[in-house]
């Protein structure tokens, strides 16, 4: 009963901010996603047997597990889900932005893209050869396939939340992930494992963290002020 009363008080506090200030307060959510250690796994290189062009290197650096010397994890997705203010605000009328994904130096750039459901992704080709872009959902069902000539681009719409993997049918080492979310609050960690999510309304949130190798995990957080030192560490046994 005491817990119920505390939650009710918090909810009413959020409601008061919305009603009497005319708009909700907004906070920043910043932090770092790490891997426990050291030692940390060495970078992995993918051998290239058939070179796409003359002078192409013997191997390329895998983007699947990139860890900084301090243990920061790159390309992890951080999503805030829930929150009383989000529920009160109702559906957003803002048109989801179009994001871009390039095929450059025979890699997808960036390696991980997060999109709100209903957004489109512009897929470019900055390489000198054609690419065969294929998207698969979590059940390995192909969602689309596009031939993308050099200097050209295509657009793909992602309507439903879920995780998708993009692959090139011509260059086996090329892959990327498109994470489609229902929340407007998300980020991808940088080379040091850092992230920042701005304009988060007050409320209680579930923090969902995803990485293609280390899997999905999470925790809970209460946003009644800006949080600038959040840390999550993947335990070594997950590797």
The pTM of the full predicted model, rounded to 2 decimals, is 0.83
Please report the pLDDT score of residue 1 as a whole number: 46
Mean of the per-residue pLDDT values of the chain: 86
120 in Cβ contact with 53 (< 8 Å): no
pLDDT category at 41 given cuts 50, 70, 90 is confident
Tokens of 119: 């957004």
28 in Cβ contact with 200 (< 8 Å): yes
pLDDT above 60: residue 154: yes
Tell me which CATH code domain 2-238 carries.
2.60.40.420
């Amino acid at each position: 009963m005491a817990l119920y009363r505390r939650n009710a008080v918090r909810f009413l506090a959020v409601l008061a901010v919305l009603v009497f200030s005319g708009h909700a307060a907004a906070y920043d959510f910043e932090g770092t996603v790490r891997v426990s250690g050291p030692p940390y796994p060495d970078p992995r290189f993918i051998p290239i047997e058939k070179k796409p062009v003359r002078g192409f290197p013997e191997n390329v650096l895998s983007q699947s597990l990139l860890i900084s010397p301090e243990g920061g994890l790159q390309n992890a997705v951080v999503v805030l889900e829930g929150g009383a203010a989000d529920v009160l605000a109702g559906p957003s009328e803002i048109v989801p932005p179009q994001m871009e994904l390039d095929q450059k130096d025979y890699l997808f750039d960036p390696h991980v893209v997060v999109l709100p459901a209903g957004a489109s992704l512009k897929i470019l080709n900055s390489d000198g050869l054609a690419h065969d872009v294929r998207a698969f959902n979590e059940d390995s069902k192909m969602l689309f396939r596009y031939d993308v000539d050099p200097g050209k681009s295509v657009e793909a719409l992602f309507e439903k939340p879920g995780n998708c993997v993009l692959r090139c049918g011509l260059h086996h080492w090329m892959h990327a992930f498109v994470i489609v979310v229902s929340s407007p609050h998300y980020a991808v960690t940088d080379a040091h494992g850092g992230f920042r999510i701005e304009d988060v309304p007050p409320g209680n949130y579930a923090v969902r963290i995803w990485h293609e190798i280390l899997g999905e995990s999470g925790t809970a957080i209460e946003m009644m002020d800006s949080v600038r030192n959040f840390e999550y560490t993947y335990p070594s046994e997950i590797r």
